[in-house]
Amino acid sequence: MEETDREAVATAVQRVAGMLQRPDQLDKVEQYRRREARKKASVEARLKAAIQSQLDGVRTGLSQLHNALNDVKDIQQSLIDVNKDWRQSINTIENLKDVKDAVVQHSQLAAAVENLKNIFSVPEIVRETQDLIERGELLQAHRKLMDLECSRDNLMYEQYRMDSKNTHDMNLIHTYFGDMQKLSEELAKQLWMVVQRSLVTVRRDPTLLVSVVRIIEREEKIDRRMLDRKKQTGFIPPGRPKKWKEKMFNILERTVSTRIEGTQADTRESDKMWLVRHLEIIRKYVLDDLLVAKTLLDQCFPPHYDIFKRLLNMYHQALSTRMQELAAEDLEANEIVSLLTWVLNTYKSTEMMGNSELSPEVDVNSLNLLISQDVVDQLLSKYMSTLTSNIIGWLRKALETDKKDWVKETEPEADQDGYYQTTLPAIVFQMFEQNLQVAAQISEDLKTKVLLLCLQQMNSFLTRYKDEAQLYKEEHLKNRQYPQCYVQYMIAVINNCQTFKESIISLKRKYLKVELEDTLSSSHASMDAILDIIAKEGCSSLLDEVFMDLETMTVEAHRRVVVEYIRAIMLKRISFKNAEERKEGAEKMIKEAEQFRFLFKKLAAGSGEDTEGLCDIIEAIAEVIKLTDPSLLYLEVSTLVSKYPDIRDDHIAALLTVRGDASRDMKQTIIETLDQGPSQPNPNYVPIFKEITVPTLTVPKLLK
């Protein structure tokens, strides 16, 4: 207590210190004291009330325990009295054995008397029951059958009680009622026929179905009663329990399975769309059956049967079995898509289990997959493998078809702007679109995989397209007359590159998620690069085509330029006054000859003709003009004449005149000397000086 008091004082000190932290709070000490007093009084009152409540509970508990003790003592005394009475009556019970046997015998005789009418009229009742079964009056037939079974069971039970080991009498009774078992089996056949056609019967004659259910319910009650008697006495009549309810559900289950399996009317050989038709028939039948089960069948069965849920589970299991069987077959790619679309989407859609008329009894979210995820993955893997092969084949076939168009004698089609194009891009991307739309019906993940596959194969296809365009060009170069529309189709190939680029971008924008675009950036860049190469090489081949047509004209232009250039020199359009001007002019001529050589060599690339010799003539003339030592002029001119033997005297005279330093006598001497010398013409030289006409110079001839 002292420790508690100390803690209370310490707590109070802290509380008071917290209240009196400022000088102005001293004025409120009395107010604080009254408030704390009220709180204290309130706490004490609550504490007293709680303690009083606990004390009342303890008092009540003690009172009840006291009463229970008295009751136990009374029961103990009663048990002692019962035990005493039982021990005193043992001998009396043993003396009543004869009475007991008499009672049993009396019970048997009473049962026989009670069933006497049925015993003597068994054959007649059997015939009447048979007639009722044949007429379809099943309830009345079952009532008579129940009477017969009741008579037999009572007689056999009394016989069992009197002497359970007397099989002879038991067999005698069983044999006498033997036709009854056949009636039971015949009635059961009629019941099962109705059960098998329950979805049809409930529309035409629901009363018949209700009668069947009532009969089954009666048998279930009898089964339960017989089983209870067996627990008590050990006796159960032959043929019990019949378990007709269990058999009814088994028959319904087999009927559902047969109905699902029987919807396949076609095979792949007879109809390529066999699976689509098969699945559509299943969808229609199952939906119709479940709607009938919910609206009509459910009213013909007791609520505890939960017939709609039972049928729903049966259909689900039958569908699962059938889908697994279909998945195990060697399906083609389009068939795999049809199956997966039906299993993953159609089954739970509003077209089937998600139909508004089936809710809320059918919760699509609680339905399991018709086939396991492993099987789905296997089918998807097989589909992707098959689709890969198909796309490769389709692309190859599309390219081969396009190549056949390249050699046609008619021009390719033009778009709305008049640009040449072929149908290849449209065919390729239409195929991609179709496969992507199909994949999108199954799942977003599959759609993405198919898109990646299409773009991957597109990359390989463009490489083949580039190679084929190159081969097309090479084949044309072997015979430039064939194909007739080479230029137009090469233009179409080039235009296709732009169409391919636009189609790839459109395809990605439509089917590719934004977050996955980065993963395809390298692939896209690769395709763009290949398309750029195709377009560039195509343009280059068109330019080559133009230049090959201009090759002859280029060679002729080269020759004419050189001829005109030399003619300009010979006509004294240039005149040099000193060695410096001659040197400067000659170097300019050499430079211009080099420019001519470079230009026409580039223009005539691939022509196979050597045109550099034409520019050599200009350089040779420049060397004559450039010569600074007049004494060597004869040697330089003779070299020029030996290289180009078609040069005439007037050409030499004009050339010497251009130099401006050769006297009249020097010209005459050089010309006469050259006329006497032998010439060694180049066999590959094509004369051009014969085309150059210069004014005749007045040069007197020497007398012979």
Q: What is the pLDDT of residues 547-596, one digit of tens each?
A: 777 777 887 888 888 888 888 888 866 678 888 888 888 899 899 989 98
pLDDT category at 694 given cuts 50, 70, 90 is confident
The whole-number pLDDT of residue 254 equals 92
Provide long-range contacts, Cβ within 8 A and 24+ apart, for 313-316.
314/252, 314/253, 314/256, 315/256, 315/260, 315/286, 315/289, 315/290, 316/367, 316/368, 316/370
For the cut 80, the answer to whether the pLDDT of residue 96 exceeds it is no
Residue with tokens 């039972």: 310
User: What confidence tens digit (pLDDT) does each residue in 593-639 have?
Assistant: 899 888 888 776 655 555 667 888 888 888 888 888 777 888 888 88
For the cut 50, the answer to whether the pLDDT of residue 162 exceeds it is yes
Residue 570 tokens read as: 């010979």
- Residues 194, 251: Cα–Cα separation, whole Å: 10
- Residues 687, 229: Cα–Cα separation, whole Å: 137
Which class for 415: exposed (0-12), middle (13-18), buried (19 or more C-beta within 10 A)? exposed
- In eight-state DSSP terms, residue 343 is I
Distinct helix (H) and strand (E) counts, the chain: 25, 0
For the cut 90, the answer to whether the pLDDT of residue 473 exceeds it is no
The whole-number pLDDT of residue 652 equals 83
Task: Output 325 or 109, whichever has higher pLDDT.
Answer: 325
Task: Output 555 or 473, whichever has higher pLDDT.
Answer: 473
User: What confidence tens digit (pLDDT) does each residue in 358-406 have?
Assistant: 888 888 888 888 888 899 889 888 989 988 999 999 999 999 999 888 8
- Residues 156, 173: Cα–Cα separation, whole Å: 7
Task: Output 700 or 390, whichever has higher pLDDT.
Answer: 390
- Residues 382, 693: Cα–Cα separation, whole Å: 85
The CATH-assigned architecture of domain 378-548 is: Orthogonal Bundle (1.10)
The whole-number pLDDT of residue 131 equals 83
The whole-number pLDDT of residue 396 equals 93
The whole-number pLDDT of residue 95 equals 63
Beta strand residue intervals within 483-605, DSSP E: none
The separation between CA 239 and the C-alpha centre of its own chain, rounded to angstroms, equals 56
Residues 684-702 have a mean pLDDT of 66
Residues 165-169 have a mean pLDDT of 64
User: What confidence tens digit (pLDDT) does each residue in 13-29 have?
Assistant: 777 777 777 777 667 77
The whole-number pLDDT of residue 271 equals 77
**Stated pTM of the model:** 0.61
Task: Output 190 or 159, whichever has higher pLDDT.
Answer: 190
Task: Output 437 or 679, whichever has higher pLDDT.
Answer: 437
User: What confidence tens digit (pLDDT) does each residue in 192-214 have?
Assistant: 998 888 888 888 888 888 988 89
Task: Output 98 or 692, whichever has higher pLDDT.
Answer: 692
* Cβ pair 105, 162 in contact under 8 A: yes
- In eight-state DSSP terms, residue 371 is S
Task: Output 554 or 453, whichever has higher pLDDT.
Answer: 453
* Cβ pair 491, 415 in contact under 8 A: no
* Cβ pair 191, 209 in contact under 8 A: no
Determine the longest span between alpha carbons in the chain, in angstroms: 194
The whole-number pLDDT of residue 317 equals 92
Top CATH class, 551-691: mainly alpha
Residue with tokens 């898109």: 451
- In eight-state DSSP terms, residue 420 is B
- Residues 92, 83: Cα–Cα separation, whole Å: 15
The whole-number pLDDT of residue 345 equals 87
Residue with tokens 């009894």: 361
Query: Which amino acid type is present at position 391?
Result: I
Residue % of the chain over a pLDDT of 90: 7
Phi, psi of 280 (to 5 degrees): -70, -40
The whole-number pLDDT of residue 583 equals 86
Convert 167-202 to b/e letters by CB count within 10 Å (16 or more is b). eeebeebbeebebbeebbebbbebbbebbbebbebb
Cβ partners under 8 Å of residue 446, min gap 6: 380, 383, 439, 440
For the cut 90, the answer to whether the pLDDT of residue 272 exceeds it is no
Length of the chain: 704
- Residues 294, 300: Cα–Cα separation, whole Å: 10
The whole-number pLDDT of residue 700 equals 44
Nearest-5° angle of CA 444, CA 450, CA 452?
105
Q: Which of 360, 347, 280, 359 is nearest to 316 (CA)?
A: 347
The whole-number pLDDT of residue 108 equals 59
User: Do the domains at 378-548 and 551-691 have one common CATH topology?
Assistant: yes
The whole-number pLDDT of residue 698 equals 46
Give, in order, the Cα–Cα distances in Å from 155 to each of 109, 114, 176, 239, 468: 9, 10, 11, 15, 99
* Cβ pair 485, 408 in contact under 8 A: yes
Q: How many CB atoms lie within 10 A of CB 76?
A: 9
- Residues 639, 622: Cα–Cα separation, whole Å: 13
Q: Interhelix angle for 649-659 vs 551-570, to 10°?
A: 60
So where are the chain's domains? Answer: 2-83, 101-242, 253-371, 378-548, 551-691
